[in-house]
Amino acid sequence: MKKYTVEQGIVAPLDRANVDTDLIIPKQFLKSIKRSGFGANLFDELRYLDEGYLGQDNSKRPLNKGFALNQPRYQGASILISRANFGCGSSREHAPWALEEYGFRTVIAPSYADIFYNNSFKNGMLPVILSEEIVDQLFKECLATEGYQLTIDLDAQEVRTPNGESFQFEVDPFRKHCLLNGLDDIGLTLQAADDIRAYEEKTKQSRPWVFAEIQG
């Protein structure tokens, strides 16, 4: 998992509350347990005017030109701002996969559905919680300024705006440690690799028949 330290990037607005996981990545695209291949269909129902299906050539589909992600000013955005209860609905882990693959490492919203919030950290994304008043301010500044960027400093737990304002956010210390060091569940386990090997060697001496059965 890629480390998350300081991220500076263009901000894209998604001005709606209760963005559910089926809107983030529709169910017809959930045909794989691999973590890749979902970014192309992120917000599919909003990005295109037709109904999407698996294996479709997106380059030939009619775009919804009114949707932010289709507008030139938001191309290359890596920070998404949205409204309350982001990521509600089903618990699909494909939602953060799709966001991350598209290029979003940070989402800023007043609140999140619990499962989406947890899944984001596990997949190297940072879901930042700021008050509705601050999020509203960021929306206004984003819409008023083409190329609007924010800086997210995880170590300092700050969101910094181009005009020098900074907003503090809370994050669990353990989750912060994992993001700063690029540790997913597998990475955390591998930190104890020496202890695991030592236990295995000790067990080989005390219960050799177990390993004989495995090798056999």
Cα–Cα distances in Å, from 164 out to 13, 27, 120, 157, 170? 20, 41, 28, 15, 20
Nearest to 142 by CA among 100, 193, 80: 80
Q: What is the mean pLDDT of residues 14-41?
A: 88
Q: What percent of the chain has pLDDT over 70?
A: 88
**Residue 17: how many CB atoms within 10 A of its CB?**
15
The residues that bridge with 107 in the sheet, in sequence order, are 80, 127
Q: Is the pLDDT of residue 189 over 70?
A: no
Q: Is 113 exposed, middle or buried (0-12, 13-18, 19+ CB in 10 A)?
A: buried
- Which spans in 145-207 are helix H? 173-181, 185-190, 193-206
Q: Is the pLDDT of residue 35 over 80?
A: no
Q: What is the pLDDT of residues 75-125, one digit of tens each?
A: 999 999 999 999 999 888 899 999 999 999 999 999 999 999 999 999 999
C-alpha–C-alpha distance, residues 78 and 140, integer Å: 18
Residue ranges covered by each domain of the chain: 6-183
105 CB-near residues (< 8 Å, 6+ apart):
4, 7, 9, 78, 79, 124, 125, 126
Residue at token pair 């170590």: 155
Q: Is the pLDDT of residue 54 over 80?
A: yes
Return the pLDDT at 216: 47
Q: What is the pLDDT of residues 136-164, one digit of tens each?
A: 999 999 999 999 999 999 999 999 999 99
| Fold assignment, 6-183 | Aconitase; domain 4 (3.20.19)
